[in-house]
Amino acid sequence: MVAAGKILPLALLLLITLLPTAWTHPRNDRPNFHHQAQPTFTQGADAVHNRIVLKSKETDHFTTDSNSISKKLRLATMDFNPEEEEGDIHGKLKELMQKAEYAIKDSIVWANQAEPTAVPPNDPDYRYQWGLTKVKGPEAWQILADSQPASESRPTRSTPQVVTVCVADSGTDINHQDLVGRLDPKIGYNAIDKNNDVSDGLKHGTHVAGIVAAIENNSLDIAGVGTDRVQILTCKFLNAQGYGFASDAVACIDYCLENGADIITNSWSGGEDNPALRDAIQDTLDKDVLVVVAAGNTASNLDTEKAYPASYAAEFPNMLVVASTNYQDKLSNFSNYGAESVHLGAPGEWILSIVPDDQTDYYSGTSMAAPLVAGAAALVQSASGRKLSAKELRDIIIETVDPLPSLQENVISGGILRVDKAVQAALDQAPAPTSRKLLAVH
């Protein structure tokens, strides 16, 4: 429990990593890898705010339609007038703490840039979607196609299911030509403005959604790893300047859970332990939902330098923490790591995906590695023929990695994502097909 009136500092970092050579270009236009000025984002730490996060002890004393984060978790926010005297504010906090389990100053999320380890290769195939090729995404699609024969004499091994991946980020361009038909009918929620406007002023959330679910084989833009077996649910908590409140991130997790998400992908992270965020992660475990988290971009060893929510993974078996690798199969120089705290690596440098207004762009960071794993997990769940527990899903992903020397002492599994091996493992564990019985006519 937090002492009455105590303010807990928490420096959360959004793991968006726009390249120093960032640009936006029309589809089918090959990029020019010349250096441009580094983009600048407003730092959330500079923003003045007086928002408090409160959790009621037992009865829901604080939540209303306008300030609720999660009624189930009894979490709410409260804004104080910045012109009030400090003593008045602490007096109000003391009064509130009589009914509160804890009260903490809300955190701010801001953009954190990372530079790629090396100049991208000249091979056009690598310039486009080298990461998807590296983890054998197309091979996984073929395995799934082969597991679903059309002949009635050969019953299907497993029934395809559409898996919902919730993207808690900066929103999604719901009109993007490469996401048509891949969005959950509910579309999503804006935790900032408490409405359903999930437009993406930052572009980051759309980029993440494209990695998971962009339409394949439509002669447009890119292909998401999840194919037609995945649909995207969006929750927006990051604004167009690249920052937002941690309480809104908690509201997004709550929204994802309440609206049927099977997997939640999170390309943001933070510094200190936060009780509200911990409560939200506990709720994902209670509902048996897989939570995929970017490891972070500060080149830190998470075994000794904690960053949340990634560092909750030691407590919660429904979490997967993902580091970034480059096209040389090396750990990205910006990526966090941890032999006991980060589960696996996935491509996270020079990753091409969609951005708003029917455009595409290259970003780098663990922000890009995490959704690749989330989309792969969706394929595994779809292939399984039954509802896998979050731990089962996590274990399949971890146990089927490709070992890499550069990751042997840097992540738990010692390897990089292999989508084809994970999908095959799920099919091997799937229930045997039921033969159709022929009815004789008498």
- Coil, strand or helix at 129: helix
- Residue 283 bears catalytic tag: no
Q: Cβ contacts of residue 58 below 8 Å, gap of 6+?
A: 74
Which residues are bridge partners to 230 per DSSP?
163
**288 labelled catalytic:** no
CA nearest to 209, candidates 262, 247, 168, 149: 168
Residue 290 main-chain phi, psi, to 5 deg: -75, 135
The 3-class secondary structure across 209-247, one letter per residue, is HHHHHCCCCCCCCCCCCCHHHEEEEEEECCCCCCCEEHH
Helix 366-384 to helix 137-146 angle (10° resolution) is 10
Nearest one of 334, 341, 339 to 313, comparing CA atoms? 341
Listed in order, strand segments (DSSP E) in 259-318 are: 263-266, 268-269, 290-294
* Per-residue pLDDT at 282: 98
Phi first, then psi: what are they for 111, rounded to 5°? Answer: -70, 140
Decide if 296 contacts 281 (C-beta within 8 A): no
Asked whether 291 and 309 are in contact (CB, 8 A), the reply is yes
169 an active-site residue? yes
Positive/negative CA dihedral, 10, 14, 19, 20: negative
Tell me, rounded to whole angstroms, the distance of Cα 83 from its chain centroid: 38
Q: Where are the domains of the chain?
A: 11-111, 124-429
Residue 358: what pLDDT? 94
Q: Which tokens go with 111?
A: 């953009």
Predicted confidence at residue 26, as pLDDT, reads 40
Query: Which element (helix H / strand E) includes 350?
Result: none
Distance CA 439, CA 421 (A): 39
CA distance 182 to 226: 10
pLDDT of residue 75: 77
Alpha-carbon distance of 435 to 369, in angstroms, equals 40
Is residue 374 classed as helix, strand or coil in its secondary structure?
Answer: helix
Q: What is the pLDDT along the chain (442 residues), one digit of tens a residue?
A: 333 333 333 334 444 433 333 333 344 443 333 222 323 334 444 444 677 787 777 765 555 555 677 777 777 777 766 566 566 666 766 776 677 777 777 776 644 445 555 454 443 334 589 999 999 999 999 999 998 765 443 344 445 689 999 999 999 999 999 999 999 999 899 999 999 999 999 999 999 999 999 998 888 889 999 999 999 999 999 999 888 888 999 999 999 999 999 999 999 987 678 899 999 999 999 999 999 999 999 999 999 999 989 999 999 999 999 999 999 999 999 999 999 999 999 999 999 999 999 999 999 999 999 999 999 999 999 999 899 999 999 999 999 999 999 999 999 999 999 999 999 999 998 776 544 333 333 3
State how far the alpha carbon of 132 is from the alpha carbons of 146, 149, 174, 375, in Å. 20, 25, 23, 11
User: What is the structure's pLDDT at 258?
Assistant: 97
Which pLDDT score, from 0 to 100, does residue 300 have?
96
Q: Which of 401, 290, 279, 262 is nearest to 343 (CA)?
A: 401
CATH class as words, domain 124-429: alpha beta
CA 414/CA 35 separation, integer angstroms: 34
pLDDT of res. 104: 76
Of 147, 158, 353, 367, which one is the catalytic site residue? 367
Given this model, what pLDDT does residue 207 score?
96
Q: Which residues, at least 6 apart from 438, have a Cβ–Cβ distance to it below 8 Å?
A: none
- In 3D space, the residue among 105, 74, 9 whose CA is nearest the CA of residue 282 turns out to be 74
Count of beta carbons in the 10 Å neighbourhood of residue 375: 33
- In the block, which residue shows the tokens 């830190």? 300
Give CA separation, 166 vs 150, 292, 416, in Å.
31, 10, 23
Catalytic residue among 56, 107, 169, 402: 169
Kind and range of the H or E run holding 137? helix 137-146
User: Can you give the pLDDT at residue 401?
Assistant: 99
> 176, 204, 207, 343: which one is catalytic?
204
Angle between helix 366-384 and 419-429 (nearest 10)? 20
